[in-house]
Amino acid sequence: MIIIEAFKGKSITEQSVEIVERKGRGHPDYICDSIMEAISVELSKVYLEKFGDILHHNIDKGLLAAGKTIKRFGGGRVIKPMELTIGDRATFIAGGKRIPVPEIAVETAKKWLKKNLRFVNPERHIKYRVVLAEGSEELTDIFQRPGRIRLANDTSAAVGYYPLSSTERAVLELEQYLNSERFKERFPETGEDVKVMGLRRKDRLDLTVAMPLMAEYTGSEQEYFLKKEEIIAEMERFIKRFSKDFSSIEIHYNTLDERERGIGGVYLSLLGTSAEDADSGQVGRGNRVNGLISMNRPMGTEAAAGKNPVSHVGKIYNILSHRIAKRLYEEIEGVEEVYILLLSRIGTPVDRPQMANAQILLEKGTGLQDIKEKAEEIIKKELEGIGRFCLDLARGKYPVC
């Protein structure tokens, strides 16, 4: 069932307060989401190569337990490694062939860590615990039933929206810049554990940024605060691109810092992530699939990372809802904002949701009847193409955090 209706609320930009968060790639929650998703993509690849199909798996339970370090200006050492637990379900044997699931999971995790966290040694700084098991007979049987399109393995709802507000774009783009190759080349002493919190009050934007400096590159407290001022100046230079959207923009960086307290008054890191000794991570606690945690927007509770890309609607519908919202906004004139709600029913093919609801905020002078037919047509085409979309998910084409 498809229902197109006018959105009756205010546009996000008309609300007096807006709060948006973004966790960067060194944040423990981001690490968990990204690694579990990478494992799902790799398993899907192996299943396709060996069996011509994607078999049952859900690698969506992951925990990164914090380690322990000793830090000082100029260096330090790791005294207890982090521990990554990789869990839930996978297919280990099919057609008489064994799939080395634990080995694939650990090797994929190591590759991701090596590629994304410059100061983490995947062999020395992390222990790996694989607790994957075979799935239940009923859910596994979904993959044995005939039909090109898989049956939904859960009754679940998802919501997506478009376009991003100026606040959302500012938060997203600032974190992406701080973790970009360009920024890290200029400021190699910064870690990857970046968190940006944006608060808009009417037309004023307040950004709070957390990002450690590496102990190895920081010889003294004085050096830390001098480098901190340089980084603030660079962030202010970057964020000027949004000056036309706000009457003022303020940036606050590492606000727990306090001079003359030595190591206790600065944010230093050995490995670039707070998981080294301060904070653990878990799948589903990080960014939504569009890369943001936007408090003023509707949000689902499903964690998309690591879920099966061909039957798990907690992944498929989460990403598809944002994709549909984007298409409606870009392809239909007179549309200001779009919200898409998708609801599955377990056992029903994923291309036939129980409900597909588009709530559309229209520009003045545009009526619902002006856009209804085209909106329905776009949604139908997206659902008809869900087989190709799921394969793209399996290949990792769409980010989940």
Q: What is the DSSP letter of 345?
A: -
Helix 221-239 to helix 166-178 angle (10° resolution) is 140
Q: Which of 302, 375, 37, 299 has its CA nearest to residue 152?
A: 302
Q: Write out the chain's pLDDT in tens, 401 residues.
A: 999 999 988 999 999 999 999 999 999 999 999 999 999 999 999 999 999 999 999 999 999 999 999 999 999 999 999 999 999 999 999 888 999 999 999 999 999 999 999 999 999 999 999 999 986 544 454 455 455 688 888 899 999 999 999 999 999 999 999 999 999 999 999 999 999 999 999 999 999 999 999 999 999 999 999 999 999 999 999 999 999 999 999 999 999 999 999 999 999 999 999 999 999 999 999 999 999 999 999 998 889 999 999 999 999 999 999 999 999 999 999 999 999 999 999 999 999 999 999 999 999 999 999 999 999 999 999 999 999 999 999 999 999 99
**Beta carbons within 10 angstroms of residue 296's beta carbon:** 16
pLDDT tens-digit series, residues 338-355: 999 999 999 999 999 999
- The CA distance from 147 to 131, in Å, is 31
251-258 long-range contacts, Cβ below 8 Å, gap at least 24? 251/207, 251/209, 252/206, 252/207, 252/208, 252/209, 253/208, 253/209, 253/210, 253/211, 253/228, 254/209, 254/210, 254/211, 254/212, 254/228, 255/208, 257/225, 257/228
- The whole-model pTM stands at 0.95
**Beta carbons within 10 angstroms of residue 155's beta carbon:** 13
Q: What is the DSSP letter of 271?
A: S
- Please report, as a single letter, which amino acid is at residue 257: D
CATH 3.30.300.340 fits 12-24+166-277, yes or no: yes
Torsion angles phi and psi, residue 249, rounded to 5: -135, 125
- The CA distance from 307 to 290, in Å, is 16
Domain ranges of the chain: 12-24+166-277
- The CA distance from 236 to 225, in Å, is 16
C-alpha neighbours within 13 Å on the C-beta side of residue 282: 2
Q: What is the DSSP letter of 33?
A: H
- Please report, as a single letter, which amino acid is at residue 323: R
- Please report, as a single letter, which amino acid is at residue 301: T
Radius of gyration for the chain, computed over Cα atoms and rounded to the nearest angstrom: 23
